[in-house]
Structure 1
Amino acid sequence: MSEENEFECRVFPSAADDVEHAKRVECSKQLMASSAFRLAYDDKAFVLRDEMRPVRLLLELSKTELILNDHNINNTVVMFGSARMLRPKKAKKQLFEAKQLLAQQPSNPDFKRQYKQAKIRQQQTDYYIQARALAKIITEQSMLGDIPNLYVITGGGPGIMEAANRGANDAKGKSVGLNIILPEEQQPNPYITPELCFRFHYFAMRKMHFLLRAKALVVFPGGFGTLDELFETLTLVQTKKIKPMPILLFGKAYWQRLLNWNVLTEEGMINEDDLNYFSYVESVNQAWEIIEKHVKGLRKLHRDI
């Protein structure tokens, strides 16, 4: 060991060193089997106790934070949307199969319903294509160095999340996936950068990490989960808990059918100015222009300061 490395050595053994040392301690099997005798941080049963929930929350916050810092992931574009949207080829196949079944039994109500749903899924593939294209542009442009490095971050699952991670992968760039453990397992999509694919137990910690580095939020059509994430962000901006950022709702027709914002203003539940916290976008280029303008403005502001 060089003199310089020797100078930088820890005075105390690391936690990992002590875990290994504890395994070599000579004592009775009865003691070794005792939970009390195990190091607290190496005692799974202890860490998983209900009373240790605050510690587990901190672990979920800290693990992701440290790894993202290690990879210099400082600026992100969050992309939300339904996990149910299909890849174009799969949607086309499902529509073909549903059409065949309906042709065989035109009066079958189940086949009518399947065909109707398959047609909707086929139409929704436009959102998959747009999410993939936007993520590719974001990644490509940030890799050129004209703007601060932006990394696409998603919930890590299928549908729109897959499309966004896939677009970043198309550009040969990194992207982040924040998976959540659910009773019906959400499988991570194969396009996330492996060393940036995380798993969460707590929705709260996952949603915090979506926004900690966010410079823009792009929301494609989705269900309860997408709405939850959208409204949490709007609430944080409205209450000035986070700084304003572009919140882009992709597909004006969908969002206006789903949400009657005018009811909120007419009933005095929000101010009319609150409707300025988000914008509708219809194209990849339109979304990118807004994001690019915002991040360039942030860079100029930082330089001026």
Structure 2
Amino acid sequence: MNNKRIPGDTPATVKMPVPPHPQQRHAPLPWSQPKSDRHDASIDARTRAILESPSYRQADQDIDYLNTDATRGTRLQIDYQKAENLLTEHNIQHTIVVFGSTRITDEETAHANLQALNQQLAQTPDDAILQQRLKVARQLLIKCRYYDVARQFARRVSEASKILPDGQLLIMTGGGPGIMEAANRGAFDAGSKNIGLNINLPHEQYPNPYITPELCFRFHYFAVRKLHFLLRTRALVVFPGGFGTLDELFETLTLMQTRKLRPMPVVLVGETYWRQAVDIDFLVAEGVVDPEDRDLFWYAETAEEIWESICRWHRLNGTRLPCDCSDD
């Protein structure tokens, strides 16, 4: 023991040791080196087998163990917690979530796809599969206007929220291509931060390049991703889409119908599309949906209609958006 007296207010009669180094030691501990194989040539191999055994891996660094059924609860927790910590760290308080098809692209891309299919069909004009793909490509070209509306809307929201402290009202999407890209791109155009919640899939979904890098997340569980979509959102804007879009829309409507989630604006963009895709009036007439639940959403066509109706809903509800400075 080092019993040197430490200068200062310590009484001369007290022999207090100098505080030890937090990491280093003068003398190594007995277990800091493996047992020597001086008397047994098999010791090295046995020690190596222990160190390489899966059981010896530290639990939080053992990917194989963390991917077992037994640790699903832990994975659910950290899948939620990482995004929650970072969103809180970046002061993300309110969002507007935009959903829609990954297949609805900008007009330039849609034209290029259509041209490529026309060229292929010219080589094999009787190919029924190509003919069907060409028909679909023409429909998607018509829907390019939704890409433009999503981009315009996100830019409108982002410009309106510039009066707020950073992070107060941001666009959030599923992080992928199509309508999601358009919304992230609109916020990017306005110089605003924006959020993408990507998902791990068997076939990789790359995040679109317009998401703010430190606000792009990748989830393992759809359920946790859905939770983060709704925790901070002040409105849901839904463009034409397929299974994924319908899933997010109806889960949100169900949560609002049952009041597990406080009602908020839900805007379906493109009335003609939505009335054909989902006949809500038929469901009401059949008695499987209450008439009052028909009022959980409405239709809009333009970026300005979407934004103004969201602001008006919140004013009527007494939950004015933080950047809504318009008069009643």
The structure 2 residue matched to 1:140, chosen from 147, 156, 159, is 159
1:257 aligned residue: 276
What residue in structure 2 maps to residue 123 of structure 1?
Answer: 142
SS in 2 for 1:208: helix
Report the secondary structure of 1:298's partner residue: coil
Task: Specify the alignment match of 1:76 in structure 2.
Answer: 95
Correspondence 1:83-232 to 2 at 5 A: 83-102=102-121, 108-145=127-164, 149-232=168-251
Structure 1 Cα separation of the partners of residues 201 and 164 of structure 2: 38
- Which ranges of structure 2 fall in alignment gaps of 5 or more residues? 1-21, 23-30, 35-46, 323-328
Letter in 1 for 2:178: G
Count of residues in Structure 1 that have an aligned counterpart in Structure 2: 279
Please say which structure displays the higher CA radius of gyration.
Answer: 2
1:20 is matched with which residue?
Answer: none
Query: What secondary structure sits across from 1:177 in the alignment?
Result: strand
Does the alignment pair 1:55 with 2:36? no
> Partner of 2:299 in structure 1?
280
Identity of matched residues, %: 47
Matches of 2:164 and 2:218, distance apart in 1: 30
Match for residue 298 of structure 1 among 319, 323, 326: 319
Per the TM alignment, residue 78 of structure 1 is displaced from its structure 2 partner at its CA by: 0.6
- Once the 2 structures are TM-superposed, how far is the Cα of residue 192 of structure 1 from its aligned partner? 0.8
**Unaligned runs of at least 5 residues, structure 1:** 1-12, 14-23
1-structure distance, mates of 2:136, 2:88: 43
178-187 or 91-100: which moved more?
A: 91-100
Distance 1:196 1:56 in 2: 20
Cα contact 2:97–2:171 (8 A) shared by 1? yes
- Give distance in 1, aligned partners of 2:166 and 2:65: 46
Contact 1:180 1:201 in 2 (8 A): yes
Deviations 1:28-53 (A, max 9, x none): 43443233333322222222211100
Q: CA deviation at 1:267?
A: 2.1
Give the direction of change, closer, same or farther, for the CA distance of 1:30–1:234 in structure 2 (3 Å limit): same
The 8 Å contact of residues 141 and 147 in structure 1, kept in 2 or not, is answered as: no
**2:308 corresponds to 1:289:** yes
1-structure distance, mates of 2:320, 2:262:
15
More helix by share: 1
Alpha-carbon distance in 2 for matches of 1:238, 1:120: 33
1:101–1:29 CA distance, 2 compared to 1 (3 A):
closer
In the alignment, the residues of structure 2 paired with residue 287 and residue 275 of structure 1 have an alpha-carbon distance, to the nearest angstrom, of: 18
Letter in 1 for 2:202: P
1:5 aligned partner:
none
Scaled by the length of structure 2, what TM-score is found?
0.79
Across the aligned residues of Structure 1 and Structure 2, the Cα RMSD in angstroms comes to 2.4
| Residues 232-266 of structure 1, C-alpha deviations (whole Å, 9 max, x = no match) | 00000001011111000000000001111122212
Hey, what's the Cα distance between the residues in 2 that align with 1:148 and 1:203? 24
